[in-house]
Structure 1
Amino acid sequence: MNLKHIFRGTLAVVSIATLMATAADACTRALYVAKDGTVIVGRNMDWGEDMSSNMWVLPRGMKRDGRGGANTIAWESKYGSLVVSAYDIGTAEGMNEKGLVVNELALVESDYGKPPVGAKVISLSTWPQYVLDNFATVAEAVADLRQEKFVVQTVILGTGRAANMHLVMSDATGDSAVFEYVKGKLVIHHGKEYKVVTNSPTFDKQLAIMEYWKDAGGLNKSLPGTSRASDRFVRTSYLLDSLPAEMNEKYISGTPQQNFKFQAPMAALSLMRSVGTPLGFADEA
């Protein structure tokens, strides 16, 4: 595994994935894809408490299990990865050596269902790592997870609440997918058009809300501004679509070496800053 390449490739992700705020469950993920093929994943971790996160470099060939008890699944990692841990008990997000990126974001509506007797299980805390260890592309992951070889089990946080999440993926081609468990059933949204993900409600409803705002006079005239997940989804989508997808003479003079390889991550970083929850802010709406 080329660790130098992995660290360089994930710098933009990591630099915008460790923002903390007091508004719980206010995470945002945005996928920036430029005309030259540059792909950058931005993610705000606006979590309501210190997750004691650390970065780990995990090599190929590690023997793993799903931390799901007696019927947990087991595998050996095919790809190395760089990950950010949550509470140092599982992977919150990361990127493997093939450029596949995973992010877990809160979704309180998640319902993983009850495992049938004898069914294989995997803990929510190791679900992202299973993907990073085994797949090179989003398409590969979709094909495998669609078979539902195991049942996902939630984990209980130190606060006593269940850590209900949905899983988001992207790869080096700009492909994207969102995985949600709704009423015990796996729902997959797969396509390059799915660039923005936040939290509640479920992704299909987020898309419907987006259409409402488009019809309500256009996003450039009526852009919602609270920190609620549905508002952040609309606002992030609008701003992401407004970013230059190639070198822009108007902005390039303000970037190091006047090079697009710096313009692109700076644009993504500025986007994530603009939709993040300010430190200490609590939205009661």
Structure 2
Amino acid sequence: MKKVTFLKAALAFTTVFLMATTQTSDACTRVVYKGPKNTIITARSMDFTIPIPSNLWLFPSGIARDGSTGANTVKWTSKYGSMATSSWDIAVSDGMNEKGLVANMLWLVSSKYPEFQKDGKGKKGLAVSLWAQYALDNFATVAEAVAQLRKEEFVVVTDFIPGTDKFTTVHLSLSDATGDNAILEYINGKLVIHHSPEYTVMTNDPIFEEQLAINAYWKGIPGNIFLPGTNRAADRFVRASYYINAIPQTDDTRVAVAGAFSVIRQCSVPYGISTEGFPNLSTTRWRTVADQKNLVYYYEDALSPNAIWVDLKKLDFSKNGKIKKLALDKNQIYAGETSNQFVESKPFQFQGI
């Protein structure tokens, strides 16, 4: 058994090395902290080679949406309200809904999505820009999301990021207020779902199964003696896995949130860094920390002097609530709890095909 694990790890190391030296992608890290008394906190970093302007959006329940794939598209009405982080105001890449479900989209070069037929002969489509928002709108728990998404009633459809040569290839992580987790990937056109409360860490390439093999290898080496220190996805996965369990496990919210922030900062990429021969190592642009027990969403921009946070309990997620935005895309500076600084706004248009 140990020999098989080692061989898998060796293969995964080779894969991630080859991808790092031959392909251009972007890097992120996601980690879930589990403390006593149902203290669950999900933290993530957004690492990208180019600036990725973001805003915070309040989406109430009762919003009628479609998958932005033309006539052959999935349609739904949001069951839950959510706090979401947009990217270029064409996609939602991160967020938490009013039930404490968190969705994070991270880059995965290995992604290969199913074929989509716009003529209506195949399954309905969902633009990748809406993948995270679909989960936030429709599900309260990971188990509920997994049960529904396994039915594959639609296919995720992707395209190039406007104005770039970057083809959007991502995988999706879900976590909830009970500490349950799921990782969703499209590999060779097939949906692969990894579902377990133990899946508390995710980075980028290689695929999640190989990330687990790499981590299993490193568990045999005490983290307080040696940890891999590069910015590569495999190394960040190992460090995040070690540190999220090494920090104090507490129900003191102030300490727990600080701990989650410290881990995601430790796994971030310094601003402006570039490594010759490794084009997929990208500057950390922003970080979020979602306190799923207390429903507080923290946001930290790399160019801002401080983090801000939003208490979701102070927002109106009812069907009578308004869509609102906290503008962050022009380096606006705020301080502290900012729920009262959101401004009613027209919703942005999700990128479709």
Is the deviation greater in 47-56 or in 165-174?
47-56
Q: Match for 1:205 among 207, 210, 230?
A: 210
Aligned-partner Cα distance in 2 for 1:78–1:45: 27
5+ long unaligned stretches in structure 1: 1-22, 248-259
Q: Deviations over 1:203-256 (max 9, x none)?
A: 0000111122223x3333331110000110011101111011126xxxxxxxxx
Residue type at the aligned position of 1:126:
L
Does structure 1 conserve the Cα–Cα contact (< 8 Å) formed by 2:25 and 2:109? no
SS of corresponding position for 1:189: strand
The question of 1:188 aligning with 2:181 is answered: no
* Aligned pairs (5 A) from 1:1-285: 25-115=26-116, 117-157=121-161, 158-215=163-220, 217-246=221-250, 260-283=252-275, 284-285=277-278
Aligned-partner Cα distance in 2 for 1:206–1:118: 33
Does structure 2 conserve the Cα–Cα contact (< 8 Å) formed by 1:24 and 1:46? no
Aligned-partner Cα distance in 2 for 1:246–1:91: 31
Aligned-partner Cα distance in 1 for 2:126–2:273: 35
Aligned-partner Cα distance in 1 for 2:253–2:166: 42
Does structure 2 conserve the Cα–Cα contact (< 8 Å) formed by 1:213 and 1:222? no
State the TM-score, normalized to the length of structure 1.
Answer: 0.85
Aligned-partner Cα distance in 2 for 1:188–1:142: 8
Q: Deviations over 1:141-163 (max 9, x none)?
A: 00010000001011211212211
User: 1:96 offset after TM fit, Å?
Assistant: 0.6
Q: Deviations over 1:233-281 (max 9, x none)?
A: 011101111011126xxxxxxxxxxxx1211101111111111000011
Richer in strand (by share): 2
Aligned-partner Cα distance in 2 for 1:48–1:146: 33
Residue type at the aligned position of 2:215:
M
Q: Which residue of 2 aligns with 1:14?
A: none
- Higher RCO, Cα 8 Å, sep 6+: 2
Aligned-partner Cα distance in 2 for 1:103–1:246: 24
State the TM-score, normalized to the length of structure 2.
Answer: 0.69
Q: CA RMSD in A?
A: 1.4
Q: Deviations over 1:160-187 (max 9, x none)?
A: 2211000000011111100000001111
SS of corresponding position for 1:268: helix
Runs of 4+ in structure 1 over 4 Å off: none
5+ long unaligned stretches in structure 2: 1-23, 279-353
Aligned-partner Cα distance in 1 for 2:164–2:116: 24
Percent of residue pairs identical: 50
SS of corresponding position for 1:241: helix
Does structure 1 conserve the Cα–Cα contact (< 8 Å) formed by 2:159 and 2:167? yes
Equivalences, count: 250
Aligned-partner Cα distance in 2 for 1:137–1:98: 8
Q: Deviations over 1:78-118 (max 9, x none)?
A: 10001000110111111111010000000000001212533
